[in-house]
C-alpha cells in the first residue's frame, strides 16, 4: 500500500484493467460522440457498440503508461492538426533531460495547457510531466480514470474539516516534492486554482504555500523552490474556444453574489476546448528560476513577472485593445491581420448582449496589459 495511492497517477500494473473498464463505459463513449463534429456519427446504427469495439481494438496491446501516452500523443497531435493553425514552442534549450522540474504555468484550458506542453516535451525526447488537477474534475470516475492514466494526480480541495484539508494538501505537497527530488520526475501545476477567465495571469501565493507545506519544517521557502527547479511556462491562444462560456460566467458572477456551475459544465468546457478552433498557439518555456527571498508573496510575484513577460502576443489581443480603446503595445501584425482579428471578435460579440462585451474582450486585452 502506497501512501499516495488515493491521489497518484495510475501505474503500469493497473493499465489493462482500467482501459478495459473505460472501453465499455457508456459515459466515455457518449463523451467521444459529443466531441466529434461529424454529422455521420449521429446516423450510425448501434454506434455505442461499434465505438466500444473500436476502443477495445485500439487499446488491446497497451499494457503500460508509456504505451498509453504514445496513443495519447497521437490523439493530441490530431487535435493540433484539426484545430490549431500553428503550435510553436520556445525555450526547450533551457531544459536538461536528466532533471525533474516544477513547471508553473498560466492556465487557460482545462486539459490542453498541460497536454500541449507534454506533446512538445515528448516529441523532443523529454520526459512528460505529472499533472496536478483539482478534485472538481474527478467527480465522475471515468474522467478520473482517463486523467490518472495520463499521469495526473489529484489535489483535493473539497469542503472538509480544516484537519482533513490540511492532510490532503500536505499529501499533495509530499507527492510533488517526492516526484521531483527523489524520482527526478517533472510536475506541471497551474499558477493559481482554476483557469484564468478574465485574461489576468498571476501566481497565487497559496499555491506556493501548498507546495512547500510538507517541507516547511525542513527547508526555507527559497531553498525549497530552488531545489524544486521551478520553470515558468506561458501559453497563449489566439482564439479561446471557451471564451463565450467564460464570458457568461464572468457576467453572471458580476450581477449575482455567487455562481454555481451547471452539471457537467467542466466536461463541456473540455470538449469545446478540444474541438474548437484555436488559431495560433505558443508555449514559452522559461529558464530555471533562482529565488533569494524567503517570502511566498515575493516568489509569486517573481514567477508572475516571468510568465507575463514571455506571453506571446496574438492579433486578437491587439484587436481587443483597439475595440476597447486601451493602450496598444508594440507589435508586428499587419493591418489586415488586426482587421481579421477584430472581425472575428465582433462576430463572437454579436451572439451576446451588449453589457457582456467588456467581459468578453477583457479575456484578450488583459493578457497583454
Number of domains in the chain: 2
Same domain, 37 and 179: yes
* Torsion angle defined by CA atoms of residues 317, 310, 336 and 318, in that order, rounded to the nearest 10 degrees: 20
Same domain, 102 and 185: yes
Same domain, 37 and 65: yes
**CATH code of the domain containing 210:** 3.40.1130
Same domain, 201 and 297: yes
Same domain, 56 and 147: yes
Per-residue pLDDT band for 264 (boundaries 50, 70, 90) equals confident
Same domain, 201 and 227: yes
Taken in order 107, 110, 112, 114, is the CA torsion positive or negative? positive
Same domain, 172 and 320: no
- Does residue 91 form part of some domain? yes
- Does residue 246 form part of some domain? no
Q: What's the pTM?
A: 0.95
Share of the chain above pLDDT 90, in %: 83
Residue 160 CA, distance from chain mean position: 25
Share of the chain above pLDDT 70, in %: 96
* List of long-range contacts for 319-323, beta carbons under 8 Å, 24+ apart: 319/344, 319/345, 319/364, 320/345, 320/361, 320/362, 320/363, 320/364, 320/365, 321/364, 321/365, 321/368, 321/369, 323/361
Same domain, 289 and 142: yes
Answer for the pair 241, 276: CB distance below 8 angstroms, yes or no: yes
- Does residue 75 form part of some domain? yes
- Does residue 221 form part of some domain? yes
- Does residue 247 form part of some domain? no
Per-residue pLDDT band for 42 (boundaries 50, 70, 90) equals low
**What digits encode the pLDDT tens for the residues 10-32?**
999 999 999 999 999 998 888 77
**What digits encode the pLDDT tens for the residues 174-221?**
999 999 999 999 999 999 999 999 999 999 999 999 999 999 999 999
Domain housing 352: 313-369
Give the number of other Cβ atoms within 10 Å of residue 288's Cβ. Answer: 16
**What digits encode the pLDDT tens for the residues 249-262?**
999 999 986 777 77
Same domain, 296 and 367: no
Same domain, 220 and 360: no
Average pLDDT, the chain: 93
Same domain, 207 and 87: yes
- Does residue 2 form part of some domain? no
- Least trusted range by pLDDT, from 59-63, 100-104, 128-132, 136-140: 136-140
Amino acid at each position: 500500500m502506497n501512501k499516495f495511492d488515493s491521489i497518484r497517477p495510475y501505474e503500469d500494473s493497473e493499465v489493462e484493467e482500467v482501459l478495459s473498464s473505460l472501453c465499455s463505459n457508456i459515459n466515455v463513449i457518449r463523451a467521444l460522440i459529443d466531441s466529434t463534429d461529424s454529422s455521420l456519427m449521429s446516423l450510425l446504427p448501434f454506434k455505442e457498440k461499434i465505438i466500444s469495439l473500436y476502443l477495445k481494438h485500439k487499446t488491446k496491446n497497451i499494457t503500460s503508461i508509456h504505451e498509453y501516452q504514445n496513443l495519447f500523443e497521437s490523439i493530441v497531435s490530431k487535435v493540433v492538426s484539426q484545430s490549431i493553425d500553428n503550435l510553436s514552442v520556445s525555450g526547450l534549450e533551457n531544459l536538461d533531460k536528466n532533471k525533474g522540474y516544477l513547471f508553473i504555468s498560466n492556465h487557460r484550458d482545462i486539459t490542453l495547457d498541460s497536454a500541449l506542453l507534454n506533446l512538445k516535451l515528448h516529441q523532443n525526447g523529454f520526459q512528460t510531466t505529472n499533472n496536478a488537477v483539482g478534485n472538481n474534475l474527478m467527480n465522475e470516475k471515468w474522467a478520473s480514470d482517463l486523467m490518472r492514466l495520463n499521469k495526473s494526480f489529484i489535489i483535493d480541495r473539497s469542503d472538509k474539516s480544516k484537519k482533513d484539508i490540511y492532510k490532503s494538501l500536505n499529501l499533495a505537497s509530499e507527492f510533488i516534492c517526492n516526484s521531483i527530488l527523489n524520482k527526478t520526475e517533472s510536475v506541471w501545476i497551474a499558477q493559481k486554482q482554476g483557469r484564468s477567465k478574465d485574461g489576468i495571469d498571476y501566481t497565487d501565493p497559496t499555491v506556493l504555500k501548498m507546495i512547500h507545506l510538507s517541507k516547511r519544517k525542513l527547508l526555507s521557502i527559497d531553498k525549497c523552490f530552488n531545489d524544486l527547479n521551478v520553470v515558468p511556462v506561458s501559453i497563449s491562444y489566439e482564439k479561446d474556444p471557451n471564451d463565450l462560456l467564460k464570458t457568461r460566467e464572468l457576467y453572471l458572477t458580476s450581477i449575482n453574489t455567487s455562481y454555481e456551475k451547471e452539471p457537467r459544465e467542466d466536461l463541456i468546457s473540455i470538449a469545446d476546448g478540444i474541438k474548437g478552433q484555436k488559431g495560433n498557439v505558443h508555449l514559452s518555456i522559461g529558464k530555471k528560476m533562482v529565488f533569494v527571498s524567503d517570502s511566498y508573496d515575493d516568489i509569486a510575484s517573481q514567477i508572475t513577472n516571468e510568465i507575463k513577460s514571455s506571453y506571446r502576443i496574438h492579433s486578437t489581443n491587439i484587436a481587443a485593445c483597439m475595440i476597447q480603446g486601451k493602450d496598444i503595445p508594440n507589435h508586428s501584425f499587419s493591418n489586415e491581420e488586426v482587421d481579421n482579428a477584430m472581425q472575428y471578435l465582433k462576430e463572437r460579440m454579436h451572439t451576446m448582449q451588449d453589457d457582456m462585451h467588456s467581459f468578453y474582450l477583457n479575456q484578450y486585452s488583459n493578457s497583454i496589459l
